[in-house]
Structure 1
């Protein structure tokens, strides 16, 4: 991989990974080693979370197509070695969370992919803002009621986020080069100067 060509994106936006049962088997130990190392790296490189998560789904029976996708992540990382997490210092600290979901998008098991923060559905947001609907919300988990209480106490402010401003997209789908760069900056990943 030292002489491999650098890539600007992690995954093609048009290709989706599947079981690839007709594909060529690859060394499972080697594949798991690559994925394990990449999973460790996701702690500080949130831009690779989605792609690594997709590749991690195929550790039990990795095929050549899965290894190719994992190597693509390594080629992307090779070109972005100069990125560091940067959080500016200041007097105030506002916690801002972005949530996104891609429902039943996995071709293998129809699993959904969620962003890196706890998922809040639109109904949970509406319930927290409008306490009139409480009679119909008995089935909602206690954490949503905690959220509603936090909104009422003004500890949490919830706002709808337009799709073009959705930072959590980087955790739920393959993006174009431009969107990756935009979201990396919003995540605090900056190039070393």
Structure 2
């Protein structure tokens, strides 16, 4: 219908649909209910553990209930609060000299944290780093994952804020460390994508091959899907340059102070950490949502 659009997402026996035209929503709902045995739950507010708060000003996604659940499950409700998910000098290494810990418990915590990263980009680097040691975790690794949990205790209602009135320009930030993994010295790629100021996806992934230079690591981070092996560095270079010359993309150098993707591959002190959360649109629910403003 003109410039209006409809989006439909299906997951097993659950379905979400929305449109820029309410008439399209009503017609689609009528058709689905006539052809299938289904019921409508109205405006979305909870889906697969993800809570959705809708207001006239925008949408806030969070997992506050899930945070409370995992803190209770792992008996962390009475622990002291941590201000950061990971210490700058965290000391997490692949050395197996420390006392071993309960493998089942460690992996259960990692799995729970991984699910939480769907709305919490602030913990993805710390969680991914700890996940590398799931085979033989020691006491230092357990202390690290428990610190992430203690950080969650102090920030249970952090989530992603999507303002209604904003631009829709697509921007992507990518970066890489160099040989950051202390086990195999592979680099870690990180990236984040925005529609205007809205964070829509983010990544933190160890590269599949050992980069021979910082330049190679950066190219892999900029183009991780089509050319993930460093032996194809020439292809990476020409692929990115070709896209740039055809004006399919605009490549710009990002200074260290404004590199939003850094949150996904580095550890920072609290002021820098809070700055990155702000530019990524990670907010506390109380900052942007009032119960009086919630749409029913």
Would you say same fold, with TM above 0.5?
yes
1:42 and 2:135 are equivalent in the alignment: no
Higher strand proportion (structure 1 or 2): 2
Aligned partners of 1:29 and 1:39: how far apart in 2? 15
Partner of 1:188: 281
Q: Equivalent residue of 1:97, what SS?
A: strand
Relative to the length of structure 2, the TM-score reads 0.55
Structure 1: gaps spanning 5 or more residues: 125-137
Q: 2:168 aligns with which of 93, 97, 110?
A: 93
Describe the superposition over 1:13-63 as per-residue Cα deviations: whole angstroms up to 9, x where unpaired: 123311231211111111111101111111211111110111000000011
Higher helix proportion (structure 1 or 2): 1
Q: 2:91 aligns with which of 7, 16, 34?
A: 16
Relative to the length of structure 1, the TM-score reads 0.83
Q: Equivalent residue of 1:150, what SS?
A: helix
Aligned partners of 1:92 and 1:3: how far apart in 2? 43
- CA 1:139–1:116: 2 relative to 1, 3 Å: closer
Q: Pairwise mapping of residues 154-193 of structure 1 onto structure 2 (< 5 A)?
A: 154-193=247-286
Structure 1 residue runs of 4+, over 6 Å off? none
- CA 1:51–1:147: 2 relative to 1, 3 Å: same
Which is higher, the Rg of structure 1 or of structure 2? 2
Tell me by how many angstroms 1:6 deviates: 0.9
Q: Which has the higher contact order (CA 8 A, sep 6+)?
A: 1
Give aligned pairs, total: 179
